[in-house]
């Protein structure tokens, strides 16, 4: 497995990480814990050393799963987790008050079975707490040895700049794929300027870019995609044009659509580390195979030209929802 550095931080991780959320949260019923531990171990066997989780996934159970799975590999892996979203009476609430961050870090350290969190993200920007105050608390945690690096998830460029002045950021996490290219407008140029790494989640468009989802798909209510406009029947049908494009390129290069989608993300910048999630060994191996797929400059130019002519139907979050309101702040 090839390695990449997250910006100027010096933090080196596998070129593709593993998003662990879906193992226990967000995509239907949780999978068997022992099977997921075996899958995480399989990822390590194949060179993956970068694992992503969060306090709110479950809540808590995903961190516990990751902590148990990675306990035998202390010092050999990089674990990213997140603070800033609390569950209150079954509803997600933003909370980045200093005392809440301190409580969160202690809980995460315990569940992850580590002395230091490698990469600690603010999960979503809390509009009630100045980002400088959040950065100051994280700076204290770094001085205390409880956190090594920090980042922001789904933050806007102004917030990123303000945070970076107080305590340099190692990584920004946001959605990015052939299906969602908004980060190219402001975010990626800002990260390049500041020397901050980028960790895209949903680089496979929440599964759509694998070519295995069509208009007849049915999602259970505990699968987040059941409320996402992008996954409504009419939008799934309209967006097949993107999948057909990816399938044509994949067939030409004798690889899978998922591998083309991930190779495209990897080809954008050397400091981008996607974190596709999966529960299946064959999908894990398929995803990791993307590091060996080389897209030439000409192929990328042609692909980007074709992508620019495709208009994606459906938003990535329900309009007016808390999910939508929390991005780009």
- pTM of the predicted structure, to 2 decimals: 0.97
For residue 103 the two structure tokens come to 């409580």
DSSP 8-class letter at 225: G
What's the Cα-to-Cα distance from 21 to each of 26, 54, 63, 280, 309, rounded to whole Å? 7, 8, 9, 14, 33
Cβ neighbours, 10 Å, residue 76:
9
Walk along the chain (329 residues) and give the pLDDT tens digit of each residue.
999 999 999 999 999 999 999 999 999 999 999 999 999 999 999 999 999 999 999 999 999 999 999 999 999 999 999 999 999 988 999 999 999 999 999 999 999 999 999 999 999 999 999 999 999 999 999 999 999 999 999 999 999 999 999 999 999 999 999 999 999 999 999 999 999 999 999 999 999 999 999 999 999 999 999 999 999 999 999 999 999 999 999 999 999 999 999 999 999 999 999 999 999 999 999 999 999 999 999 999 999 999 999 999 999 999 999 999 999 99
pLDDT tens column, 257-287: 999 999 999 999 999 999 999 999 999 999 9
Q: Is 73 helix (H, G, I), strand (E, B) or coil?
A: helix
pLDDT at 102: 98
Residues for the chain: how many in total? 329
CA gap 1, 232 in Å, rounded: 37
CA gap 88, 100 in Å, rounded: 13
* Cβ atoms 150, 121 nearer than 8 A: yes
pLDDT at 65: 98
Torsion of CA 245, 251, 255, 261, to 10 degrees: 0
pLDDT at 137: 98
Class for domain 3-207+258-294, per CATH? alpha beta
Domain range list for the chain? 3-207+258-294
DSSP 8-class letter at 185: T
pLDDT above 90 as % of the chain = 99
Cis? peptide before 223, omega within 30° of 0: no
Annotated active-site positions, please? 57
């Amino acid at each position: 497995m090839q390695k990449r550095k997250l910006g100027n931080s010096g933090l080196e991780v596998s070129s593709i990480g593993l998003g662990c959320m879906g193992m226990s949260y967000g995509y239907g019923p949780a999978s068997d814990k022992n099977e997921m531990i075996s899958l995480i171990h399989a990822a390590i066997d194949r060179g993956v050393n970068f694992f992503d989780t969060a306090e709110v996934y479950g809540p808590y159970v995903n961190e516990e799963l990751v902590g148990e799975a990675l306990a035998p590999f202390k010092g050999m892996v990089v674990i990213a987790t997140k603070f800033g979203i609390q569950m209150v009476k079954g509803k997600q609430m933003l909370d980045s008050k200093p005392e809440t961050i301190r409580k969160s870090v202690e809980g995460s350290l315990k569940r992850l079975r580590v002395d230091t969190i490698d990469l600690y993200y603010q999960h979503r920007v809390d509009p009630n707490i100045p980002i400088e105050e959040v950065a100051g608390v994280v700076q204290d945690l770094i001085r205390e040895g409880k956190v090594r690096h920090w980042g922001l998830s789904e933050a806007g460029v102004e917030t990123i700049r303000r945070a970076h002045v107080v305590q340099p950021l190692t990584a920004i996490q946001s959605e990015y794929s052939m299906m969602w290219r908004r980060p190219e407008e402001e975010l990626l140029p800002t990260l390049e300027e500041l020397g901050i790494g980028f960790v895209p989640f949903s680089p496979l468009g929440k599964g759509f870019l694998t070519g295995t989802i069509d208009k007849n798909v049915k999602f259970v209510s505990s699968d987040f995609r059941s409320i996402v406009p992008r996954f409504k029947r009419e939008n799934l049908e309209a967006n097949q044009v993107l999948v057909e494009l990816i399938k044509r390129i994949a067939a030409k290069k004798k690889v899978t659509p998922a591998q083309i989608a991930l190779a495209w993300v990897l080809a954008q910048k050397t400091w981008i580390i996607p974190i596709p999630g999966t529960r299946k060994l064959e999908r894990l191996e398929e995803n990791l195979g993307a590091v060996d797929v080389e897209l030439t400059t000409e192929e990328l130019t042609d692909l980007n030209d074709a992508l620019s002519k495709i208009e994606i139907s459906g938003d990535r979050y329900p309009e007016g929802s808390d999910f939508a309101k929390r991005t780009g702040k």
